[in-house]
Amino acid sequence: MEHRARKRFGQNFLHDPLVIDRIHAAIDARPGEHLVEIGPGQGAITERLLTRAGALDVIELDRDLIEPLRRRLGGLGELRIHNADALDFDLRTLVDSANQPASLRLVGNLPYNISTPLLFHFLDQLDALQDMHLMLQKEVVDRIVADPGDKTYGRLSVMIQSRCAATSLFRIGPGAFRPAPKVESAFLRLRPLRPLPYPIDDAKLHERIVAAAFGQRRKTLRNSLSGVLDPERLEAAGIDPKRRAEELDVASYARLANLAAAATAG
C-alpha cells in the first residue's frame, strides 16, 4: 500500500515484523472479542487483529487509506471502518451496553502530536473499555507510569494512575517506523481499575486540583493550590502545605479532591 505519510496526521507507519509480533503477543486477541483500532494506517497491526478476532472496528481520519484497507483486508473478517477523528469519536456508540458494558479492547499507534488529548478523551470513556494497548512516544509513557518523587511524575501520571493500572511493556526504536520518527516509542498497557481504589467524588474538581498543583510545580502546595484549597484543608487531609506537587501520591490527590468537594457541598 503505497502512501506518503502525512505530517499533519502525525503518520509514522509501523513495518518491523518483530515489533509487530511483540505487539500481538501483548494484546493476545481472541475470537469474539470486540477490538477497536485507532489509526490503522497501512494495516500493519490491523490484519492479524482482524483474523484473530473475526471482526474489528477501525477509526481512520485519512480518507486515502480507507479504500486500500478495505480492498486488502475486507475479506479476512468483518472490517468496520469509521472515517472519523478519534478526538471526536464516541467509543460508547460501539458498545452493546445492555449486554457487554466495558467490552471494548482499544489498540492504537497514536499520533504523537495529539497523544495527550487522546488519552484524556479515552479516560472520559473508560466505562466502555476493557483495556488499552497503545503505542506512544517513550517520554509520554515514562510520564504515565512514573512514581511520586520522580522528575517525570506529573499531571498525566496522576490522572491516568487514578483510574488505570499502567504498564510500560517494551521500547520501540525509530527504525521500526517509516518514516522514522526522531524519538523513541514505547508500548503501553492500560487496564481500568474496577472498583477504583481511591474513589473520587467530583472528577472535574479532582482534575482542577491536579492541574493547579502541577501547573506551578516549583511552588509549594500552599501557593499552587491557594485558589482551590486553603492550608487548613491540606493539613486536614494529612498533607504538609510546604510539600510540592510531585511528592504527593495518587491517593493523596483523591483525598484532597474529596475534601474540597465536601467543603463545596457544605
pLDDT value, residue 263: 79
CATH number of the domain located at residue range(s) 203-265 in this protein: 1.10.8.100
Was 12 annotated as part of a binding site?
yes
Instruction: Give yes or no for residue 3 having a pLDDT over 80.
Output: no
Among the listed ranges 150-154, 173-177, 179-183, 240-244, which one has the minimum average pLDDT value?
179-183
Was 60 annotated as part of a binding site?
yes
Residue 72: CB atoms within 10 Å: 15
- Amino acid identity, position 245: A
DSSP structure string for 233-258: HHHHTT--TTSBGGG--HHHHHHHHH
pLDDT value, residue 247: 95
Among the listed ranges 8-12, 56-60, 120-124, which one has the minimum average pLDDT value?
8-12
- Is residue 231 helix, strand or coil? helix
pLDDT value, residue 9: 46
Q: Where are the domains of the chain?
A: 7-192, 203-265
Domain topology for 7-192: Rossmann fold (3.40.50)
pLDDT band at 98 (very low <50, low <70, confident <90, very high): low
pLDDT value, residue 11: 55
Written as nine digits, the cell of 62 is 485519512
Beta bridge partners of 167: 189
Instruction: Give yes or no for residue 142 having a pLDDT over 50.
Output: yes
Peptide bond into 179 cis (omega under 30): yes
Tell me whether domains 7-192 and 203-265 share a fold: no
Was 83 annotated as part of a binding site?
no
Was 113 annotated as part of a binding site?
no
Rg (CA), the chain: 20
| CA dist list (Å): 102 to 27, 97, 105, 118, 230 | 17, 8, 9, 18, 38
pLDDT band at 99 (very low <50, low <70, confident <90, very high): low
For 79-85, the CB contacts below 8 A with 24+ separation are: 79/50, 79/55, 80/55, 80/56, 82/57, 82/58, 84/59, 84/60, 85/61
Tell me the average pLDDT across 160-164.
Answer: 98
pLDDT band at 129 (very low <50, low <70, confident <90, very high): very high
pTM to 2 decimals? Answer: 0.91
